[in-house]
Amino acid sequence: MLNPGMMLSDRYEIIETVGSGGMSEVYKAKCHVLNRFVAIKVLKPEFSSDVNFVTKFRIEAQSAAGLSHPNIVNVYDVGEDNGIYYIVMELVEGITLKEYIQKHGRIESNQAIDFAIQIAQGLEVAHENHTIHRDIKPQNIIVSKNGSLKVTDFGIARAASSNTMTSNAMGSVHYISPEQARGGYSDERSDIYSLGITMYEMVTGHVPFEGENNVAIALMHIQGEMVSPREYYPDIPTSLEKVILKCTQKKPERRYLTANALIADLKRVKENPNIDCIVVPPVVTNSPTVKMTQEEMQAIKQGRQLNTPAAEQPKVTPLDSRAESRINMPVMKPSAIDDLFPEDEDDEYEYDDEEIETTPASRQMSDDDDELDPKLKKIIMISSVALVVIVAILIIFLIGKIAGWNLFGSGGDDKKPKTEVSTDSSENTSDEEMIPMVNVVGLYKTAAEEQMKKNGFTNYVFVERNDNTVEEGYVIEQSIEEGKSIAADEKITITISSGKEMTIVPDVRNYTDAQAVTLLNEAGLEVTHGYEYDDTVEKDYVISQEPAANSEVARGTTVKIIVSNGKESVPATVPKLVGLSEEDAAAALTEAKLVGNPSYDYDDEVPEGQVISQDIEANSQVEEGSTISYVISKGKESHTYSATFSGSITNIDYDFDTFGNVKVEISYTVDGKSYSIYSGAAGVDSFPLDISGAQAITGLTTNSGSFSIVISDSDGIDVTSSFNTGGISATFAQE
């Protein structure tokens, strides 16, 4: 596990852990190159040490980096740092679809269709770029905070399938396609099958196949019959059910061939739920079949044996050659799926005696066309035949019992009076309706409800109760104990935890310790103490509390109160501050555990920044934390001045009638800078020219300057001498 603050490739800073899976751990990180937050998926050491896997992982991840779509979590970068292999991805704030289903239960049909369309749109782009996901499941789909869905983990599944699929990817066995379960070739239609299972879970709240182990579930995907969604919830539109069942056909060629075709049908169903436009293509008899390896078949057979108690395994009796030849012909129970698509008749096969008695060579060719291994088919066939025989015997026995036949007695028994067999229909019906109660304690509410429906119970109610030990939403107890046989409509009360009982934390600040404890205990809360000195809160009174006052917490929560020890009196020696710099004075006071209060003033003798004086003499004893005031020199005091202007310029002998108007430029230079006092044309009526209204100059460091006056005629000739300029002056004032 990576620690917060760690850098990968001198670029990505780890912020926090956001999740962990079977192959990797996911972290929130910050990219310091592009200044953005990202998600980084880091391979676990057991995968990082496998060179072949790492090679495939890098190739596939780099391929996935080329995918860009709003419904795909974008891959930004792939890298390695000191043996740590990682993928940098888009950071999406939200929860997985699996968590969403667990939190909300089954999803309403319209929303499920919308979710499915978004997932299929992401797959459509991936498939167009020749990328197969191979591990579509709700855990790999993120529901963002704005409600949009994003598919993640592209590329990793392919690398895993080539190296670790047999042992590790079975964690996704609830969503695996039949061809993947057999270890065969998988393509785009495998993703569509897994999406179909995901859609099934969205509309029902659970997966279609459950078993004691992964092998048992994989076998169900290969040959098991799926309970149609509408058997659980009749409110699911028939058209949507058909879409789901078409996606989850056993044979790939009977599914949607492209995600685009699936999207089109989903949109039709969304617009008109009563539409009937779903068509399943016929079986392609020469479709490629990839056989399972002997090791995989052995694992499946062992799994079946482990899942089937010895008492339940059918006894296999010797069969004649004709029966043995039938063993190699897989006989499957007609699926309810076919009832939804009556126009498809290509799956109907009829065998007569001549067809069954084939040569070994022809039987081998037939075996090659079947999807299951011959040994596995043989086991299935024997089990089926044995089961039929057992059922037939039971039926004959029951009929004979009712009819009074003496099937097993001797001749002498015929003389005994026959015992009447009651055929009271009400008694038989009552026996048939009795159902053993299942255990739902510990299940989440939606899962418990599904279990009750699945077992045929019709009259159950949920009640809520606070519980400090059971998480909210889970079953605490049931009114009927497990195993007890009851009628299907007998009332069953299932108690759900509503979480811990909540209470409001009272505000106990500024109460005495004893008062605070009483108030908190009355609110159902526990109390723990802490003690601190405080200059403002009286001794034995509460300073603060955690959790905060008026917050809502579960009963039994412990509240920590901090009680005042009063003001702590500790002596401190005042340091000498005079002559120290401002920084040194502050440091000296901090070291003495005193508080400084500096002020500033001009001083002609003490350099700027040094302490001039302090209010408490050095080496005096004061209480720790006391405030010491001191004055810091601002250096010599400097003054600034402002200049104002007055007076006027008069005409001496300039002939305006002959030479026209003049241009007057008056400026004043002070502190090395020239300021314009007056600039403009002037005629005979402008004189005398008064400058008393000129703008004052402020912020001057000196109190003297000089005028510059230039008067020129229309030809630019200087005629200043024709005017009297000595009548103007500048007056300075200290600011």
Backbone angles phi, psi at 544, to 5 degrees: -155, 170
Q: Which of 192, 120, 110, 191 is nearest to 149 (CA)?
A: 120
CA distance 312 to 327: 20
345-228-137 Cα angle (round to 5) = 110
Q: Spell out the alpha helix ranges (H) of 8-50.
A: 45-48
In terms of DSSP bridges, do strands 697-700 and 641-651 run parallel, antiparallel, or are they unpaired? antiparallel
Identify whether the C-beta of residue 222 lies closer than 8 Å to the C-beta of residue 316.
no
CA distance 326 to 357: 9
Say which residues have a Cβ less than 8 Å from residue 691's Cβ, sequence separation at least 6.
Answer: 645, 646, 647, 648, 649, 666, 677, 678, 728
Identify whether the C-beta of residue 94 lies closer than 8 Å to the C-beta of residue 144.
yes
Residue 610 DSSP label: B
Sign (positive or negative) of CA dihedral 170, 175, 178, 183: negative
Q: Spell out the alpha helix ranges (H) of 345-496.
A: 353-356, 360-369, 374-403, 425-433, 445-454
Q: Which of 251, 105, 273, 129 is nearest to 192 (CA)?
A: 251
Token digits of residue 320: 């004649």
- Answer yes or no: 135 catalytic: yes
Which listed residue (81, 114, 135, 535) is catalytic? 135
CA distance 511 to 134: 64
CB atoms within 10 A of CB 379: 20
Q: Which amino acid is at 82?
A: N
CA distance 4 to 229: 46
Q: Which residues are catalytic?
A: 135
